[in-house]
């Protein structure tokens, strides 16, 4: 039986020991397992991290290879006759080992010999077969009678003869066309790897992912995959600067946007659908759309994380009754291209006009505002929990500064951390509260508060979004 002979002194380098590994040609079929063991040993020994090992260590690796060969029944990894592979049609397996190897994870095993065997002779089990999209017949009406027959209700006729006629000749009018199947054109293993590498959410790769891995990346129905008010990452890992707050996890608040004006960070905002951002009116220095840049999916403002989408402003609408430092501090920005919905770019839900949020409701404020009054704006998105205060409390905590309008304003604070407050730079950003369905609803727009960012001095005041829903819907729905 063929044997591996490792020649070299104990003091010899690992590289020399590897060079001295020799294999006698197997003389019988049963010795193919020994050949496979050699390949495994060679793959293990070829690891550059092990070059400093001596000949004894190399010998130990060989015995590890023997153990691994026995563990995976290496004698089963015998390549089929080349003529059988060349004559076969279609995508199939050529070894009885394939299904068990797939279950054991050998399709992606780092040992080259085993991995190559699986990918060459177990293509079906390893999911390496090309995806063949079924071709659907064209959905058309074959006769001009169809539209008239539909008006007569014949698409649902009780007469079986008429019903069969309509199903055969009037598929379009009767709504019997099959929906286009959502599938991947790329191999499943490749798409899974792309998803694990975060490529499904990279803005620059969206068209490629939509073409190759539409199903795996959940790009078949974006509104269904990315419903308003839902953070996939927050839902996956569970719940967790604004003064007194903490750094937010990337993707926890995918509706948060950053508004820049003439190259400088200005304010925050909230994405409410693919086309509109809600912000504060005092964040709009000019209604001329030139000079604005809106960054969607941002987290660290100083780093290009490949998940941001940078767009311009197409139209800016400030509420007609806005009075600076008085009331109606709200504005809408229509962006110049549709938002690309991803794990990091998802709109917040809008409330109904009749919705009332009660005192004590736990909500969240987010933004890149100053962490201290003497500080500059935060580079990484911050978050903080707040509780809605009763309007009487809001009145008492703000009356020394400005008048509090109960119908169009609300305020909030953190009872467990009296220092939690919005600060300069948080303006225009969202105050979101979770509804019964677990979705985050935009209830407030950061408007004003303590000039020194001191929650003991003033409560943070927000524009009450429900009071402006008729105005918002007039633009957003159109």
Respond yes or no: is residue 329 known to be catalytic: yes
Report how far apart, in Å, the C-alpha atoms of 367 and of each of 105, 348, 395, 410, 456 are.
44, 15, 25, 18, 20
Beta bridge partners of 118: none
Spatial distance between the Cα atoms of 246 and 239, rounded to a whole number of angstroms: 13
Pair 236, 312: CB distance under 8 Å? no
Of the candidates 39, 282, 299, 319, the residue annotated as catalytic is 282
Q: How many residues does the chain have?
A: 478
- 128 contact partners, CB below 8 Å, separation of at least 6: 91, 119, 187, 189
Spatial distance between the Cα atoms of 246 and 249, rounded to a whole number of angstroms: 9
CA 312-223-188 angle, 5° bins: 105
Closest Cα to residue 422, out of 372, 362, 473, 347?
Answer: 372
Q: In this structure, which long-range contacts are made by residues 370-378, counting pairs with CB atoms below 8 Å and at least 24 apart in sequence?
A: 370/241, 370/243, 370/423, 370/424, 370/425, 370/453, 371/241, 371/242, 371/243, 371/423, 372/243, 372/423, 372/453, 373/423, 373/424, 373/452, 373/453, 373/454, 377/265, 377/301, 377/424, 377/425, 378/241, 378/425
DSSP strand E in 273-429: where? 276-279, 292-296, 309-311, 313-318, 331-335, 362-367, 382-388, 409-413
Of the candidates 95, 125, 421, 427, the residue annotated as catalytic is 427
Pair 274, 338: CB distance under 8 Å? yes
Backbone CA torsion sign across 437, 389, 422, 322: positive
Residue that has been written with the tokens 């002779």 in this structure: 121
- Got the DSSP string for 299-314? SBTTS--S--EEE-EE
Of the candidates 34, 43, 93, 329, the residue annotated as catalytic is 329
Please, where are the H alpha helices in 170-308?
188-196, 206-212, 222-225, 232-237
Give the three-class secondary structure for 27: coil
Q: How far is CA 118 from the centre of its chain?
A: 31
Residue that has been written with the tokens 């957003």 in this structure: 476
Q: What amino acid positions are annotated as catalytic residues?
A: 282, 329, 427
């Amino acid at each position: 039986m063929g044997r591996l002979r490792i020649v070299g002194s104990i003091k010899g380098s690992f590289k020399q020991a590897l060079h001295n590994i020799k294999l006698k040609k197997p003389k019988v079929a049963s010795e193919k397992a020994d050949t496979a063991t050699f390949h495994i040993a060679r793959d293990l020994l070829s690891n550059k991290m092990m070059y400093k090992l001596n000949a004894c260590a190399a010998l130990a690796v060989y015995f590890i290879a023997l153990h691994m060969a026995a563990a995976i029944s290496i004698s089963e990894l015998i390549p089929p006759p080349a003529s059988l592979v060349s004559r076969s049609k279609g995508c199939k397996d050529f070894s009885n080992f394939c299904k068990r190897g797939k279950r054991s994870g050998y399709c992606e095993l780092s040992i080259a010999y085993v991995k190559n065997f699986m990918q060459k002779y177990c293509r079906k089990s390893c999911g390496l077969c090309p995806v063949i999209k079924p071709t659907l017949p064209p959905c058309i009406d074959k006769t001009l009678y169809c539209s008239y027959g539909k008006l007569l209700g014949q698409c649902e006729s009780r007469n079986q003869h008429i019903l069969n006629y309509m199903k055969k000749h009037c598929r379009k009018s009767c709504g019997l066309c099959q929906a286009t199947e959502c599938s991947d054109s790329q191999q499943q293993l490749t798409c899974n790897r792309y998803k694990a590498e975060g490529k499904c959410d990279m803005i620059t790769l969206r068209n490629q992912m939509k073409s190759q891995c539409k199903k795996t990346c959940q790009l078949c129905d974006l509104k269904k995959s990315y419903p308003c008010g839902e953070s996939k990452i927050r839902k996956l890992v569970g719940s967790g600067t604004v003064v007194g707050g903490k750094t937010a996890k990337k993707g926890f608040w995918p509706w948060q946007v950053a508004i820049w004006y003439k190259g400088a960070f200005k304010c925050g905002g909230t994405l409410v659908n693919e086309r509109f951002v809600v912000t504060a009116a005092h964040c709009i220095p000019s209604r001329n759309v030139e000079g604005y840049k809106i960054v969607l999916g941002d987290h660290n403002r100083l780093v290009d994380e490949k998940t941001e989408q940078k767009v311009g402003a197409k139209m800016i609408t400030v509420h007609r009754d806005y009075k600076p430092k008085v009331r109606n501090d709200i504005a809408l920005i229509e962006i110049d291209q549709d938002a690309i919905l991803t794990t990091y770019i998802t709109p917040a839900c809008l409330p109904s006009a009749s919705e009332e949020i009660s005192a004590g409701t736990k909500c969240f404020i987010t933004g890149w505002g100053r962490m201290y009054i003497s500080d500059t704006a935060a580079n990484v998105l911050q978050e903080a929990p707040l509780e809605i205060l009763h309007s009487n409390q809001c009145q008492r905590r703000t009356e020394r500064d400005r008048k509090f309008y109960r119908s169009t304003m609300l305020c909030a604070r953190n009872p467990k951390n009296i220092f939690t407050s919005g600060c300069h730079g948080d303006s225009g950003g969202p105050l979101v509260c979770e509804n019964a369905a677990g979705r985050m609803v935009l209830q407030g727009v950061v408007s004003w508060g303590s000039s020194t960012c001191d929650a003991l001095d003033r409560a943070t005041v927000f524009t009450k979004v429900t009071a402006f829903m008729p105005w918002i819907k007039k633009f957003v729905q159109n």
